[in-house]
Amino acid sequence: MTLLAKFRNFSEFMIFWVIVATLSIVLFAAEYFVLSAHTLQFGETVLNLGLIIFLFQVLYTVAGFRIVGPTELGARLFLGKPINNLTSGLVFIPPGICQLSKGTRLTIEDELPADPQHIYRVKRGEPEVVPPELVGIMFPPIRIPFGHPDEPSDDPLDVRITAEVVPIVRWRIVNYIQFLTTIGSREEARRQMEDIMITVLMREFSKVTPAAALKDLEKYGKLLKSELRDLVADTKSSRPWGIEIAIAEVKSIIFSHELSVAILKVPEATLEAKATIIEAEAQRKKLELEGKGEGAKERETLKGRTTGLKKMMTELELKGPAVLGAETARAITQNPGQKTVVVGASGFKELIGIADAAGSVMKNTEEKGGAS
């Protein structure tokens, strides 16, 4: 409340009490000096008229005291016209002449268009029309169309869709008479604030995708608060609402069930893809390591055989074909269950080499024996 408004309220308060005090003094004087000289007789009972009027005045005064609670604001109305604001405490409202109007001084939180339990939602494809029997009780949600993305994106929310938007506003009454004479009721204030908030959100969200809007909700909240302050201040017509905007923001953006399910599947699909890649990489490394192991084993085997063959050639003084023939014979006899050997031309040469090797061995043995 501005200083001027406070001064005006104090002036109206003083004028009221001056009038009340003046009337009371006039009535007391009339009762004492004029009316007390007259009497009224009811049968054998004689009553002083001045005393009767005095008692009636006392009862009237007592009946006019009312209480404005600690969480309430009040306004005194004279024949329906607000004359001054009232604070918490005992107040005097002359019966029949003045009336008391009370409102809350607490901060009011409005979730638009209504509290969650009063939002009327329909199935996809059905007309979003509140049935006649629920009008005034249930309200359709606020749906805002979002804009196109500036460039392609993998974000499932970076698309043009229409989604349910839930704005909220917290406000409180600071001048109850201004509120009564300008806006009238909380319901009307709520309706007009809802209209301006929808206008702002339609204008701003049509420029961005839901993904971008979610990143900048704080910015849109500040914009809503600024627009609402301009609305309630009403500087153009100098008719302020007498309220103060504490907070205005977008509480949530609610997407359709299908889109919500798709969004939930994104991290799941991403994890599955990563798991597949990790599994494939592990399998590749496994095969690579197994191949290296088999190769190393084969190299060691060949190395050992080569060493053995060289030693055979040196100690037995055999030629290369004879050594290869002996190796072939070893390979054949390594499988005791094998009874038949089928060879081709190359295999036949190897068998001849076996015989050559056997003959050379026997010859060398005999020579060494004869020499001994």
Q: Look at residue 367 in the predicted model and tell me its pLDDT.
A: 55
Integer angstrom CA distances of residue 348 from 143, 344, 359: 91, 6, 17
The verdict on 211 and 250 lying in the same domain is yes
Same domain, 223 and 119: yes
Return the minimum-mean-pLDDT range out of 92-101, 231-240, 274-283. 274-283
* Total structural domains within the chain: 4
Per-residue model confidence as pLDDT tens digits over 220-263 = 999 999 999 999 998 776 789 999 999 999 999 988 766 655 55
CB 52 within 8 A of CB 46: no
Residue 292 shares a structural domain with residue 164:
no
Residues 6+ apart with CB under 8 A from 292: none
Q: Are residues 357 and 231 in the same domain?
A: no
Q: Tell me the CATH number at 223.
A: 3.30.479.30
Residues 270 and 247 in one domain: no
Q: Does 93 share its domain with 197?
A: no
Name the one residue in this structure whose structure tokens are 């024996």.
Answer: 369
Could you list the residue range(s) of the whole structural domain that residue 65 is in? Answer: 3-102
Q: In what order do the strands lie in the sheet with 81-86?
A: 81-86, 72-78, 98-104
In a shared domain, residues 147 and 193: yes
- In terms of domains, do 112 and 18 share one? no
Residues 164 and 189 in one domain: yes
Q: Are residues 56 and 113 in the same domain?
A: no
pTM above 0.85, yes or no: no
Domain boundary (102, 129, 153) is at 102
Answer yes or no: do 336 and 284 share one domain.
Answer: no
Q: How confident is the model at residue 372 (pLDDT cuts 50, 70, 90)?
A: very low
Position 182 scores a pLDDT of 92
Q: Same structural domain for residues 89 and 114?
A: no
Q: Which of 255, 276, 299 is the last residue of a domain?
A: 255
Higher pLDDT, 151 or 299: 151
Query: Each residue of 332-344: pLDDT tens digit?
Result: 565 555 554 444 4
